[in-house]
Amino acid sequence: MSEVAIINPAIGKHGRHKWGEAKRFPYKTEVSCERCQIVKVTRHEPSVRPWLEFYRDGERVNCERTPVCESAEVPFA
């Protein structure tokens, strides 16, 4: 499944992360934002659908969808 589905379309072009180069592991892919350093981990283990986890400063971000990039301008803040 595409991860696009869980990105809030209301955010639009603002608040988007600038993802750097992806680091691939056997059951996950990590990519960090060049602006706010948040880390997006795509977990893909056998027999389950892939899911996303986000980490900031090494701590899990508890969120349902992609957090807004804190270094980008947020028009509705």
User: Where do contacts with Zn ion occur on this chain (CB under 5 A)?
Assistant: 17, 33, 35-36, 69
**Is 46 or 57 the residue whose CB approaches Zn ion more closely?**
57
Q: Quote the least distance from Cβ 47 to Zn ion, whole Å.
A: 32
**Is 44 or 74 the residue whose CB approaches Zn ion more closely?**
74
**Is 36 or 61 the residue whose CB approaches Zn ion more closely?**
36
Q: Quote the least distance from Cβ 46 to Zn ion, whole Å.
A: 30
Cα–Cα distances in angstroms (integers) from residue 54 to residues 7, 21, 24, 34, 75, in the given order: 13, 16, 15, 14, 22
**How far is 38 from 46, CA to CA, in rounded Å?**
26
Q: Quote the least distance from Cβ 50 to Zn ion, whole Å.
A: 21
Q: Which two tokens stand for residue 47?
A: 């027999």
